[in-house]
Amino acid sequence: MFNNCKQWFHLVSSVVGAILGVSAFVVFFCIYENVDAAFWGLLSGVFAMVCFHLHYLYVRQKMDSWHSVDTLRSIKVLGIMGALAGMAGLIWCIFIAVYHHIPVMPVDTSMYIAAVWTFMTAKWGLCLFLYCRMYTRILSGHNPPLISV
């Protein structure tokens, strides 16, 4: 099923990212009532889920039946927008925390925890952009995958 360790790593890290993002949403929204951290955690989890979806389709060799080059390009734009939004959110959270002297604890008012999840959103957005770029090249035939020995 898996051609190499790299595909295994992509699948596992995407699943872990999705689980952690959704878990962060539940914990920060329901328990700590930190809406900022909860929102960014959920958004991070959604981007990780889309990354997992793409990797799973590629491993199962069903990418071309689900996506075309055009849909992958649209998802690539979504990924870069997520990366930019995450970076902007990171800068904003750190600015607000420093300007208003907001401490890390308590969790319900911490902007630093939200900053961590904005960074994770930026990371998964960038990963989504890069993976879509890779799969677009593979589907268009410009960069065929290497045959494993």
pLDDT recorded at residue 149: 41
Cα distances (angstroms) measured from residue 80 to each of 19, 41, 49, 113, 121? 22, 17, 16, 23, 11
More confident residue, 149 or 26: 26
Condensed to tens digits (0 to 9), the pLDDT of residues 64-103 reads: 899 999 999 999 999 999 999 999 999 999 999 999 999 9
pLDDT recorded at residue 148: 47
Cβ neighbours for 29, distance < 8 A, ≥ 6 positions apart: 35, 38
| Confidence label for 145 from pLDDT (cuts 50, 70 and 90) | low
Half-sphere exposure of 24 (CA within 13 A, CB side): 27
| Confidence label for 108 from pLDDT (cuts 50, 70 and 90) | confident
* pTM of the model as a whole: 0.89
Domain spans of the chain?
Answer: 5-140
103 vs 70: CA distance, rounded Å: 45
Query: Helix crossing, 111-140 with 35-59: angle to 10°?
Result: 20
Condensed to tens digits (0 to 9), the pLDDT of residues 16-63 reads: 999 999 999 999 999 999 999 999 999 999 999 999 999 999 999 999
The answer, yes or no, to whether residue 3 has pLDDT greater than 70, is no
pLDDT recorded at residue 144: 54
Give the range with max mean pLDDT: 49-53, 109-113, 135-139: 49-53
